[in-house]
A = this chain, B = another copy of it.
Amino acid sequence: MTYCVGLMLDAGIVLLSDTRTNAGLDNIATYRKMFLFETPGERAIGIMTAGSLSITQTTMALLNDAIEEPENDKSILRAPTMLQVAEIVGNTLSDVTAEVSAKMERMSQSASASMIVAGQRKGGPMRMFLIYPEGNFIEATSDTPFLQIGEHKYGKPILDRVIDPSTTLEDAEKAVLLSMDSTLRSNLSVGMPLDFAIIEADSFRIGRRRRIEADDEGFARMSHAWSDALRSAFQQIDPS
């Protein structure tokens, strides 16, 4: 399982992912699920992945190959718009999924993956997309300024309550970390370390980026403070 969340705010794009992968409960490993790309001053793109590792790794490898081939018109660092970046990622994901699925079906199994693609290129607005396993996608808007993939339910109530497009980047960082904290507590297949990144609006570069290890003192302190604050808020509520 996985939990990745992306916010698209007036102040910038905020991305957070876990790193746990598992093939059964007895085969757990750590793999990066957040991939950052930039041509500083021209564009910055973040991609987060959830689902079958065989599909996400192959998709990311093909996207990287395309970037390195000067003649390849499927490079997400050369595509003229973020919409075309989403289309390239969606088409690549769809092709890889179809290929892997054909093998899986012979064993009566299936595999799929989904992705969040977010970024901005010079001359265009920030955009954030959720790419479905089939390759089609939806986009974050001011009504729904966040997108989630993987185990999204435990961490959604906090986002529903505190995130809107005007949220500051500092509050946004707290919100996604607390959203992840609720998910980590409830689903063992989502695990530390975490990858965090910010792309500030009109910066066209990856800004703050941070790996949060299992022993991160700041994260532990925030997690405990939030538990205490929730319990204290609970005590202050009058019964209905």
Partner-B contacts on A (CB < 8 A):
153-154, 156-158, 160-162, 170-171, 173-175, 177-178, 182, 185-186, 212, 216, 218-219, 221-222, 225-227, 229-240
Contact = CB atoms under 8 A, between A and B. Distances in A.
- Nearest 4 CB-CB pairings of A with B: A218-B240, A229-B233, A153-B153, A222-B240
A194 to B, nearest CB: 10
B157 A185 contact: yes
A197 to B, nearest CB: 15
Contacts of A182: 157
Contact of A186 (B153, B170, B229, B240): B153
B221 A229 contact: no
Contacts of A186: 153, 156-157, 160
A189 to B, nearest CB: 13
21 contacts: A153-B153, A153-B186, A157-B157, A157-B185, A158-B234, A161-B230, A161-B231, A162-B230, A171-B235, A173-B240, A174-B237, A175-B234, A177-B240, A178-B234, A216-B240, A221-B238, A222-B238, A222-B239, A225-B237, A232-B233, A233-B233
A15 to B, nearest CB: 16
Nearest to A232: B233
A209 B59 CA distance: 55
A206 B158 CA distance: 35
Nearest to A229: B233
A219 B226 CA distance: 24
Given A153-B186, A160-B186, A174 B219 contact: no
